[in-house]
């Protein structure tokens, strides 16, 4: 009789702890895939929202710093340098030479 009581207690413990449901979960690959997919989507959305908030605060803070005399001049100089660099590096000559080279290769391959 003691063995049956022990078995009953073990079964009750498994039922209370949810081990039987967990075993059923592990035996269903589609259920595992679905729960992992939902978890991945939730993590991705959380990451995007978090980055958006942090970058928004940083941009807002930097925009406020432009009004500060010394720091504002520093940011204005950085912006000027970036714009000058963009205008000076359009790589037009390099693209023309590559186009000419590709045309020569195409011509030699056709013959």
Give the tokens for residue 103: 């045309």
Nearest-angstrom CA–CA distance, 3 and 5 = 5
User: Per-residue pLDDT for 94 more than 60?
Assistant: yes
Tokens of 38: 């939902």
How far is the C-alpha of 44 from the C-alpha of 50, rounded, in Å?
10
Average pLDDT value for residue range 38-64: 91
Task: Tell me the mean pLDDT in the region 52-61.
Answer: 89
Name the band, by pLDDT with cuts 50, 70 and 90, for residue 28.
confident
In angstroms, the CA 70 to CA 16 distance is: 66
Distance of CA 68 to the CA centre of its chain: 34
Position 8 confidence tier, pLDDT thresholds 50, 70, 90: confident
Identify the residue whose tokens are 């912006």.
Answer: 79
- The packing angle between helices 29-65 and 19-26, to 10°, is 90
Q: What SS3 class is residue 88?
A: helix
């Amino acid at each position: 009789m003691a063995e049956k009581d022990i078995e009953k207690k073990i079964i009750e413990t498994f039922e209370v702890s949810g081990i039987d449901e967990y075993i059923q979960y592990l035996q269903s690959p589609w259920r595992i895939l679905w729960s992992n997919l939902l978890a991945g989507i939730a993590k991705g959305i959380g990451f995007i929202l978090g980055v958006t908030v942090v970058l928004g605060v940083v941009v807002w803070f930097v925009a406020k710093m432009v009004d500060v005399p010394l720091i504002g001049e520093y940011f204005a100089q950085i912006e000027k340098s970036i714009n000058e660099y963009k205008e000076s590096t359009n790589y037009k000559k390099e693209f023309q030479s590559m186009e000419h080279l590709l045309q020569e290769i195409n011509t030699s391959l056709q013959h």
